[in-house]
Amino acid sequence: MDYLKHVKNRFGKFVMFVDRATPHCSKVTKAYLDANKDTIRLEYFPIGSPEFNASEECWRQGKYHILSSYYPTFANLKDTICSYYRTKRFNLDIIKYLFR
C-alpha cells in the first residue's frame, strides 16, 4: 500500500504490471484500487508464467551469481544479497517481457 501511494504521488495516473502475490490481491489493496480507479490500474501477469515478469529474470540471475558461493553464516548471505541487488544493473529489455 505504501508503495502504491508513493507511485501515485510521484506519477499521478499510471498502469502497473504485477503478479498475483497475496499483497497485490488483498481486500485492502482492492479497496484502495477501487477508490483510485481513475488514476491507478493494475494489470496482472498470467498465472504460472514467470517468463512474462522481468523481475523473475533478475531473481534468476541473482540466484545464479549469489548461490554459487559458500557463506559461513546467514548474516554473510544476507549482506551479499543486499549488496548484489543494490549495486547490480540488469540489462533487460522490458518491452520484450511486456509484449510476449
Model pLDDT for residues 7-48, shown as the tens digit of each residue: 899 998 999 888 888 778 889 988 998 999 899 988 888 877
The structure's pTM equals 0.57
Question: Do 75 and 92 lie in a common domain?
Answer: yes
Question: Do 29 and 61 lie in a common domain?
Answer: no
Domain that holds residue 91: 51-98
Higher per-residue pLDDT: 49 or 78: 78
- Are the C-beta atoms of 51 and 100 separated by less than 8 Å? yes
Tell me 46's DSSP state: P
**H/E stretch holding 16:** strand 14-18
The residue written with cell numbers 523481475 in the block is 55
Question: Do 65 and 92 lie in a common domain?
Answer: yes
The residue written with cell numbers 520484450 in the block is 96
Out of 22-26, 40-44, 68-72, 86-90, which region has the weakest mean confidence (pLDDT)? Answer: 22-26
Q: What is the pLDDT of residues 6-15, one digit of tens each?
A: 989 999 899 9
Query: C-alpha cell of 8?
Result: 501515485
Q: What's the number of domains the chain is made of?
A: 2
